[in-house]
Amino acid sequence: MAKNKTKGKRTRKQHPGKNTRRFNLQHHELLALAAILAITFICFFPALSADFVNWDDDYNILKNENLKAFRWEDIKGIFSTPVIGNYNPLPIFTFAIEKELFGLNPFVFHLNNILLHLGCTAFIFLIFRRLKLAFWAVVAGTLLFGIHPMRVESVAWITERKDVLFGLFYLWSILEYLKYLYKGRKGRKHFYMALAIAVFAMLAKIQAVALPLSFLAIDYLLGRKLKWNLLIEKIPFFALSLITGLVGIYFLGEQGSFESQASYNFIQRLFIGAHTYGVYVLKFIFPYKMVPLYPYPAEFPVKFYFGILYALAAAGTLYWAYVREMKQLVFGILFFTFNVMFVLQIVGAGQAFLADRFTYIAYIGLFFMLVYYWHQLIEKRPRYKVYAMAGMGIYLALFAGMTFSQTRIWKNSDTLWTHTLKYYDSTPLPFRNRGNYFRDQGKVQEAMDDYDAALDLKADDDGIFNSRGKLFFNQKKYREALQDYNKAIELDNSKGEYWVNRGASKAALGMYQDALQDVTRGLELEPGQASGYLNRSLLYSTTGQNEKAIEDIETYLKIEPTHAELWYEAGRLKRMLKRPKDALPDLNQAIRLKPGMGVFYLERSKTHFELNNRAQARQDMEQARQLGVQIDPAYQRRLNN
């Protein structure tokens, strides 16, 4: 009897869930996870040969002023300024590191997106395992997360680094929270670890504010009684979410991102939210029409009103499952709802009413629910096992093929917007963005056709006139460019870029004073516009205002410190103004940046000559000669005398 009592005491001392699942993976689990990660990598392999696209990659990476150089002031800028109204500094910081180490190599950026997604996939395996799913359910659920076609936008689009990065920290935080639950009081350190990791998740993307709600869904699934103490326990997480949400809303409002291109009242937006909720569920079952942009219809469509049926069906199913204590079904619906409800566009932000990327974390609830009941069918109806396993295999194989194919549309801006136009050819943005890509590739006629098509759809779009103006300017059709810039400014005179561009056209036509006025106005509106300082410095130089030209060059170089030709120009102008001591450091920097430019050495030779450094002057003159520069015989004689 004593022996039995001892056994009983030993059992009671252990936490109820302590031995139900080990955190260490067994050999067969490691093999399964490795296979899942390999399959997932293959599905996204086409992304490795993709380029940057002109769908926010330009603003987040290529044109981001805080990525010009990896300096302390730039890092501070990353963490203190939004990009296109979005405050997600952590992904931008990773872009800065990649650019510093590898330059603007899209392969590296895409590879890191895939690796982060693989990390998220591994965390899903561990989380599903800790949530007591059977082995094959864990395998199927993890593979669904890894290769579901709705993942493509989050992985293959470089800008959506914020999805895979916030997802990594979000899931890591969940895993730490699960350790806290399973280890009881001894696991308190995991609670604080989850909180610390949550900070990084929220610095990666505002969507992470749903984390404490996800914890509550997990509490319910694992049998914790839903009392006030669970809410009190999570106050630090809710406070963190509140702060993140308020900061995000502030920046979105400041940048005008709440001004969508469709004006719907609040009631209509409720119907939009309900409709979008249903569409996400349908796309979970079978993804269809996956594009980067789902523009608001010009008129409120009748089908949106039927969205209320989706909401009622979800609420009814949730209540029915709760009453019958079907915890896995309740958890799946709650986790999905909590993680998608903040992005249902009830409060409009942007120009689309849904986005594939918004489901990156939310679908975890549906994946869990699906594989749990799939495995229950196998367990309770053994005669259906072969059919159930075969069905899941076919389903996964279909998804793998769709994901591989969908990833290829992100190859470049042409393939991306051409794919979009298959479904939405009545909105100007895809035409304009594809036109911009064709313009930059030198495909003049294709670009012109797209701009004309965009203007046919929206004749009062200032951005299209500005883009077409650049095309005319590149062709040296300065009068046509001027007409388009005039129209862009007439439609919106608050954008500094338009004024600077018009100033460049006027300068090309010899209208220097008017050009100076336009460029100056553009810089007043957008002081951080590097091209404005460059253009104005040229105008000042052309009109003999060299001191002012130097000031603008120096301002430009603070923004673009790697522009060797401008360091050279600054040095040249300073030497002309009899300031050789000031010129020398600029010319040294120009040569450091581009040591193969012979004219740089010749200019430095002249500067050394004026400083009476004849040995260095001769050395630089000889270097310039070796690099192919023709030396003025008169200067050579003066130097050798």
Task: Report the predicted TM-score, pTM, of the whole model to 2 decimal places.
Answer: 0.87
CA distance 483 to 465: 9
Mean pLDDT of the 79-98 span? 92
User: Tokens representing 103?
Assistant: 């330059």
Backbone angles phi, psi at 83, to 5 degrees: -120, 120
Q: Do 587 and 568 contact (CB within 8 A), yes or no?
A: yes
Q: What is the pLDDT of residue 179?
A: 93
User: Which pLDDT tens digit goes with each residue over 344-370?
Assistant: 877 655 677 889 999 999 999 999 999
| Domain 563-641 falls under CATH 1.25.40.10 | yes
- Rounded to 5°, angle at Cα 477 from 475 and 478: 120
End-to-end CA distance of the chain: 114
**Residue in 63, 57, 144, 121 with CA at minimum distance from that of residue 411:** 57
Report the range of poorest mean pLDDT among 38-42, 182-186, 304-308: 182-186
- Rounded to 5°, angle at Cα 458 from 455 and 461: 85
CA distance 30 to 622: 64
Q: Do 555 and 591 contact (CB within 8 A), yes or no?
A: no
- Domain segments of the chain as ranges: 21-410, 563-641
Which has more pLDDT, 587 or 17? 587
**Residue in 470, 477, 476 with CA at minimum distance from that of residue 440:** 470
Q: Do 279 and 250 contact (CB within 8 A), yes or no?
A: no
Within 13 Å and on the Cβ side, how many CA atoms surround 571?
27
Q: What is the pLDDT of residue 122?
A: 97
CA distance 458 to 474: 24
Q: Output b/e per residue, 206-224; b: 16+ Cβ within 10 A.
A: bbbbbbbbbbbbbbbbbee
Q: 352 in helix, strand or coil?
A: strand
User: Which pLDDT tens digit goes with each residue over 579-602?
Assistant: 999 999 999 999 999 999 999 999
Q: What is the pLDDT of residue 257?
A: 53
Amino acid at 149: P
Which has more pLDDT, 306 or 402? 402
Q: Return the DSSP state at 86.
A: B
CA distance 308 to 272: 9
Those residues whose C-beta lies under 8 Å from the C-beta of residue 113, and which sit 6 or more positions away, are 47, 155, 156, 158, 160, 161, 164
Q: What is the pLDDT of residue 2?
A: 43
**Residue in 186, 116, 212 with CA at minimum distance from that of residue 155:** 116
Q: Is the pLDDT of residue 629 over 60?
A: yes
User: Which pLDDT tens digit goes with each residue over 267-284?
Assistant: 888 888 899 999 999 999
Is 256 exposed, middle or buried, given 0-12, 13-18 or 19+ CB atoms closer than 10 A? exposed
User: Tokens representing 43?
Assistant: 């599905």
Q: Could you write out the DSSP letters of every residue in 106-173?
A: HHHHHHHHHHHHHHHHHHHHHHHHHTT--HHHHHHHHHHHHH-GGGHHHHHSGGGHHHHHHHHHHHHH
